[in-house]
Amino acid sequence: MSELSFEQMFEESSIKRLRAGEAVTGQVIEVKEDEIILSIAGSKTEGVITRSEFTNEPGVDLTTKVQIGDELEAKVLKVNDGEGMASLSYKRLAADKGLKRLKEAFENKEVLKEKVTQVVEKGLVVEVEGTRVFIPASMVSDTYDKDLSKYAGQEIEFVVTEFNPGGRRSRIIGDRKQILLARKAAMQKELFERIEVGQTVEGVVKNVTDFGAFIDLGGADGLLHISEMSWGRVENPKKVFKVGDHVKALIKDINGEKIALSLKFPETNPWANAGEKYAIGRIVEGRVARMTDFGAFVELEPGVDALLHVSQISREHVDKPSDVLSVGQIITAKVVDFNEADRKISLSMKALENQGGVRHEDPDVADVDIAAVAAAQEEEQ
């Protein structure tokens, strides 16, 4: 009897006595939709984890989360719940671990990566081992982001900038913006160290405006002005580019952190051989691009425009070019003046007219007033 009592005493002394607040490990011996029963290791006591103490997810079926035989860690809430079992919490232990993890990350300024669990009106919510972290909308991106719904379910990186889990205003704040800004600064530094004027670079169209397109070069944006989009005339950049387009461009100028880009590559300059193609006396075809009261500007090819002065449209008197011509019309004319230095070409349709319908090849027939044409071109410029 005394020997048995000794064994009982030894066994009793080795049995773990539970204390509220401590962490315990147990094996799942029963699972219902709304509660889990554990056999607590080192103790003859069983514990129960209710649905609300397992997860914050409403209405979840616990049989889909754990199985009999699984081992779980939990926090003791009560040693005896009134029915002879310990009341346990799985989510509170996870939250304790999460708080410890977040405190370490806050003190060490560590970059964390977690999935966005909720998109709210003023920002995003992520969870670190069951502990919620709020990322305000102003700290989500380095640019204004009106629609945050695209981040739902995504893994994002952030740093903890405020850690105050206790008190009346419990706040754990995350910041993604500073990570993006730091990376952009590093990329910008690397970009400016390797680029120079005259170099060809590749980028992605980030934004298109009425005056040009901003190209993301990876660390900095370059401006492709409307006047640099083509050797020809571009009326509306939005008809040429859209956000996301890949562009290969020439660096025209670097001024501090401003990069000016151009698509006017020297090897594609239409004026490179214009002297031969549009020499005085040549008969050419072109498209009426635009008109003024003093004449029509004719596009001979993209980047090469010529002026057809109102006095050179016909031997008959013409008040305004629009009386006899229309934008988009293809006309045939004679080159009567070519100024390569100023990139100016003058045309005459009148020089091709005569009463018998035969073209005159003598430029004197046109009776061109070169001075008037030049003045008109200066006015257009």
- The pLDDT value recorded for residue 359 is 41
Strands 295-301 and 283-291: antiparallel
Strand partners, 370: none
Give the amino acid at 267.
E
**Banded pLDDT at 16 (limits 50, 70, 90):** low
> If you write DSSP's letter for every residue of 222-284 in order, what string do you get?
EEEEGGGS-SS--S-GGGT--TT-EEEEEEEEEETTEEEEE---GGG-GGGGHHHHT-TT-EE
| CB proximity list for 117: less than 8 A, separation 6 or greater | 125, 126, 127, 132
Mean pLDDT, to the nearest integer, of 21-48?
A: 91
Do residues 277 and 375 share a domain? Answer: yes
Do residues 214 and 282 share a domain? Answer: no
**Banded pLDDT at 296 (limits 50, 70, 90):** very high
Other beta carbons within 10 Å of 26: 24
- The pLDDT value recorded for residue 13 is 41
The percentage of the chain sitting over the pLDDT mark of 70, rounded to a whole number, equals 87
- The pLDDT value recorded for residue 65 is 92
DSSP letter (8 states) at residue 204: E
The domain boundary residue, chosen from 213, 247, 267 = 267
Total domains present in the chain: 4
Whether residue 189 lies inside any domain: the answer is: no
**Banded pLDDT at 365 (limits 50, 70, 90):** very low
**Banded pLDDT at 261 (limits 50, 70, 90):** very high
Whether residue 305 lies inside any domain: the answer is: yes
Do residues 117 and 133 share a domain? Answer: yes
pLDDT above 60 for 374:
no
Do residues 125 and 111 make contact, with C-beta atoms less than 8 angstroms apart? no
Do residues 287 and 365 share a domain? Answer: yes
Average pLDDT, the chain: 87
Comparing CA positions, the residue from 55, 177, 174 lying closest to residue 126 is 174
Do residues 125 and 165 share a domain? Answer: yes
Phi, psi dihedrals of residue 324, rounded to the nearest 5°: -125, -15
Tokens linked to 25: 């490990």
- The pLDDT value recorded for residue 45 is 86
Whether residue 101 lies inside any domain: the answer is: no
pLDDT above 70 for 273:
yes
CATH number (domain holding residue 175): 2.40.50.140
Do residues 114 and 212 share a domain? Answer: no
Tell me the C-alpha distance between 327 and 308, whole Å.
13
Mean pLDDT, to the nearest integer, of 292-298?
A: 94
| CB proximity list for 350: less than 8 A, separation 6 or greater | 311, 312, 313, 314, 315, 365, 366, 367
Whether residue 98 lies inside any domain: the answer is: no
Whether residue 354 lies inside any domain: the answer is: yes
Mean pLDDT, to the nearest integer, of 61-88?
A: 90
pLDDT above 70 for 309:
yes
Per-residue model confidence as pLDDT tens digits over 102-151: 999 999 999 999 999 999 989 999 988 878 899 999 999 988 888 899 99
The domain boundary residue, chosen from 93, 127, 158 = 93
Structural domain boundaries enclosing 349? 271-380
Do residues 297 and 349 share a domain? Answer: yes
Do residues 292 and 323 share a domain? Answer: yes
Do residues 251 and 259 make contact, with C-beta atoms less than 8 angstroms apart? yes
Is pTM beyond 0.75? Reply is: no
Segment (H or E) for 98? helix 90-108
Q: Is the dihedral of CA 254, 257, 262, 265 positive or negative?
A: positive
Mean pLDDT, to the nearest integer, of 269-295?
A: 92
Whether residue 185 lies inside any domain: the answer is: no
pLDDT above 90 for 227:
yes
pLDDT above 60 for 6:
no
Do residues 262 and 275 share a domain? Answer: no
Mean pLDDT, to the nearest integer, of 38-50?
A: 89
What residue has token string 């000016």?
A: 260
pLDDT above 70 for 364:
no
The domain boundary residue, chosen from 207, 241, 267 = 267
Mean pLDDT, to the nearest integer, of 368-379?
A: 52
Do residues 226 and 161 share a domain? Answer: no
**Banded pLDDT at 30 (limits 50, 70, 90):** very high
Do residues 22 and 57 make contact, with C-beta atoms less than 8 angstroms apart? no
Per-residue model confidence as pLDDT tens digits over 345-357: 999 999 998 533 3
Whether residue 102 lies inside any domain: the answer is: no
Other beta carbons within 10 Å of 281: 13
- The pLDDT value recorded for residue 82 is 73
Q: Using alpha carbons, list the distances in angstroms from residue 109 to 64, 103, 159, 311, 342.
A: 37, 10, 6, 76, 61
pLDDT above 90 for 334:
yes
Do residues 234 and 168 share a domain? Answer: no
> If you write DSSP's letter for every residue of 123-169 in order, what string do you get?
EEEEEETTEEEEEEGGGT-SS--S--GGGTT-EEEEEEEEEE-SSSS
Per-residue model confidence as pLDDT tens digits over 169-200: 778 999 999 999 999 999 999 999 999 999 99
Do residues 58 and 139 share a domain? Answer: no
